[in-house]
């Protein structure tokens, strides 16, 4: 085990705490709205952005953030205007972004496997800076505030978008807000868990919380608690077993989900 | 209260409209039942009135165009969809689903008040399903879910009630009970438009029947004239 400076460890813990809350909170909506592949799609968009950054010798993280948020912005309107199922649009954007990423990498010989590219793909928690912490703090508190303010509208949309519309709710802005929050959360979480694994932190804790409760409020509260727990446990395992942090967090949250399914009171008979 | 003039609704990707040349006027406090064979366009007509489908022609509700003021208008329309279903793990309790019916009326950035919760309690009690209040919505039987969806529509204390096959999944006792309650609400000036395929389930109080076939209104007259002929 390597001994690290206290500042790096502190930043890593803060980063994990904030990412765990942000991803899992948004995840509770993404899971219920059947947009699970959205996180997957966005993380691959981030990969394409990072590859373009490498090709243009520009900060890969900035372009990764732009690509990820862009996917969120175009996903909703395209799906709605073209009257396509969201999962169809996600599928197309996924193949497009991964192909673009590979093309950009193929045009940047020598840098494809550089540490910058890898850190965006797999995460680099020890590289978290004070600016990253500040960005994560702003997005996490914004997400909490937005959820508190519009919880009833989100809840109605999650039950049935058509019925929410019939109740007199203009669902469009709220639906797009969820997509946008997802995009920005994915982008800002890249540094911790990486582009390829961020969706695991978004989906697994939320899906675990769904195994225990029938009340959406409780799911929204417990999902980030599970997310933070998985982040801390994942980081501990990565420190002690010398594993990549992103993968370690993803494995921890996947195991948590597996155990949740096994002990879920919702699945018990009688 | 409701005015449809030369209304035509065509689904995305379809060439033939599901309903066409629809001209219909419904006055405040009227009770109207729409009947017709499967695929006649009954549900489409109801969803067009509610502004949930894009249509051509004039759809005026409360004196306003539903396409321009749909969200505002729907705050006063209770809607019960046909055969609503949800999976057994759906993470919502009955009281939350019923409260959702009032969300449009409560408005953005406002939380349900004590008064709203009292209305939910009274609505559940009116329909005789108070005991279901804290049950997960996915664990209900088809009949119970149907009553909850009716409660959700009534929770907003609507001026217009649109019911799409409200008696489906209900046993005979519940049918007669719900039928009586809909009639009671209509007596209190609530405008009711109901879609049914089984004409024996039309409540006595309903005096106007609209027969629809192939997307067109074939007959729009008094109960005896339409059902008798």
Domain boundaries, chain B: 1-76+159-229, 86-156
Q: Is the pLDDT of residue A160 over 90?
A: yes
Question: Using a CB-CB distance cutoff of 8 angstroms, which residues of chain A are in contact with residue B120?
Answer: none
Which residues of chain B are modeled with pLDDT < 70? 229
Question: Using a CB-CB distance cutoff of 8 angstroms, which residues of chain A are in contact with residue B97?
Answer: 159
Block residue for tokens 């950009």: A104
Q: Is the pLDDT of residue A199 over 70?
A: yes
pLDDT at A80: 67
Q: Domain coordinates of chain A in residue numbers?
A: 6-262
Average pLDDT, chain B: 95
Is the distance from CB of A151 to CB of A159 less than 8 angstroms?
Answer: no
> A55: Cβ–Cβ under 8 A, 6 or more apart, which residues?
A104, A105, A107, A108
pLDDT at B211: 96
Instruction: Give the dihedral of Cα atoms A242, A244, A250, A253; nearest 10 deg.
Output: 20
Q: Is A8 on the interface with B (CB under 8 A)?
A: no
Choose, out of A156, A163, A167, the residue to mutate when testing the contact with B (most B CBs < 10 Å): A167
Cβ separation of B50 and A219 shorter than 8 Å? no
Classify domain B1-76+159-229 by CATH number. Answer: 3.40.50.300
- CA A187, CA A43: separation in Å to the nearest integer? 8
pLDDT at A185: 87
Question: Using a CB-CB distance cutoff of 8 angstroms, which residues of chain B are in contact with residue A152?
Answer: 100, 103, 106, 111-112
Is the distance from CB of A11 to CB of A128 less than 8 angstroms?
Answer: yes
Two tokens, residue A180: 């946008």
A159 burial (CB, 10 Å; 0-12 / 13-18 / 19+) is buried
pLDDT at A122: 74
Q: Is A215 on the interface with B (CB under 8 A)?
A: yes
Strand bridging mode B64-65 / B56-61 = antiparallel
Cβ separation of A156 and B102 shorter than 8 Å? no
Residue B126 backbone zone (phi > 0: left; psi -120 to 50: alpha; other: beta): alpha
pLDDT at A2: 60
How many angstroms from the chain centroid is the CA of residue A30? Answer: 10
Choose, out of A30, A83, A161, A166, the residue to mutate when testing the contact with B (most B CBs < 10 Å): A166
Minimum distance, in Å, between the CA of residue A48 and any CA atom of chain B: 34
Q: Which residues pair with B162 in a beta bridge?
A: B79, B193
What ipTM was estimated for this complex?
A: 0.95
DSSP for chain B reads -EEEEEEEE--TT-SS-SEEEEEEEE-TT-EEEEE-STTSSHHHHHHHHTT-S--EEEEEETTEEHHHHHHHHHTTEEEE-TT----TT---BHHHHHHHTTHHHH-TT----HHHHHHHHHHHHHTT-GGGTTSBGGGS-HHHHHHHHHHHHHHT--SEEEEESTTTT--HHHHHHHHHHHHHHHHTT-EEEEE-S-GGGS-TT--EEEEEETTEEEEEEEHHHHHH-
Q: Is the pLDDT of residue A23 over 80?
A: yes
Classify domain A6-262 by CATH number. Answer: 1.10.3470.10
pLDDT at A69: 81
pLDDT at A168: 96
């Amino acid at each position: 085990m390597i001994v690290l400076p206290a500042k790096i460890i502190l930043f890593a813990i803060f980063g994990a705490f904030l990412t765990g809350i942000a991803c899992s909170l948004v995840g509770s909506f993404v899971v219920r709205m059947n947009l699970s592949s959205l996180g997957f799609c966005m993380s691959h968009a981030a990969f394409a952005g990072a590859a373009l950054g490498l090709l243009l010798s520009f900060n890969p993280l900035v372009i990764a953030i732009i690509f990820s948020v862009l996917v969120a912005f175009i996903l909703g309107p395209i799906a709605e205007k073209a009257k396509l199922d969201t999962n169809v649009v996600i599928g197309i954007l996924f193949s497009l972004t991964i192909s673009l990423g590979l093309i950009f990498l193929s045009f940047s010989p020598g840098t494809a496997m550089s540490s910058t590219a890898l850190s965006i793909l797999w995460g680099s928690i020890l590289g978290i800076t004070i600016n990253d912490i500040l960005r994560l703090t702003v997005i996490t508190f914004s997400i909490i505030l937005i959820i508190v303010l519009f919880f009833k509208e989100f809840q109605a949309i999650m039950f049935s978008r058509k019925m929410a519309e019939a109740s007199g709710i203009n669902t469009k802005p709220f639906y797009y807000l969820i997509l946008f929050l997802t995009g920005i959360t994915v982008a800002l979480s890249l540094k911790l868990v990486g582009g390829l694994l961020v969706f695991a932190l978004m989906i697994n804790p939320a899906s675990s919380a769904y195994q225990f409760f029938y009340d959406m409020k409780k799911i929204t509260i417990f999902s980030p608690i599970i997310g933070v727990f998985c982040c801390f446990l994942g980081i501990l395992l990565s420190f002690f077993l010398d594993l990549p942090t992103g993968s370690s967090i993803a494995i921890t949250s996947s195991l948590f989900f597996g155990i949740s399914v096994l002990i879920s009171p919702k699945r018990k008979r009688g | 209260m409701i005015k449809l003039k030369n209304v035509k609704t065509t689904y995305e990707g379809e060439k033939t409209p599901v309903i066409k040349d629809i001209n219909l006027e419904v006055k405040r406090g009227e009770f109207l039942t729409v009947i017709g064979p499967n695929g006649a366009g009954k549900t489409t007509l109801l969803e067009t009135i509610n502004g949930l489908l894009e249509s051509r022609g004039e759809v005026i509700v409360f004196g306003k165009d539903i396409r321009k003021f749909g969200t505002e208008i729907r705050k006063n329309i209770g809607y019960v969809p046909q055969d609503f279903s949800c999976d057994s793990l759906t993470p919502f309790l009955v009281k939350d689903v019923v409260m959702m019916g009032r969300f449009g009326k409560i408005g953005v950035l406002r939380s349900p008040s004590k008064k709203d919760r009292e209305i939910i309690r009274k609505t559940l009690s009116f329909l005789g399903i108070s005991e279901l209040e804290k049950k997960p919505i996915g664990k209900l039987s088809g009949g119970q879910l149907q009553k909850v969806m009716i409660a959700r529509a009534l929770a907003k204390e609507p001026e217009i009630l649109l019911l799409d096959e409200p008696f489906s999944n209900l046993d005979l006792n519940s049918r007669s009970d719900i039928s009586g309650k809909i009639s009671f609400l209509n007596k209190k000036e609530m405008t009711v438009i109901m879609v049914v395929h089984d004409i024996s389930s039309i409540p006595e109080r309903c005096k106007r029947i609209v027969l629809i076939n192939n997307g067109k209104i074939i007959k729009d007259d008094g109960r005896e004239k339409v059902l008798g002929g």
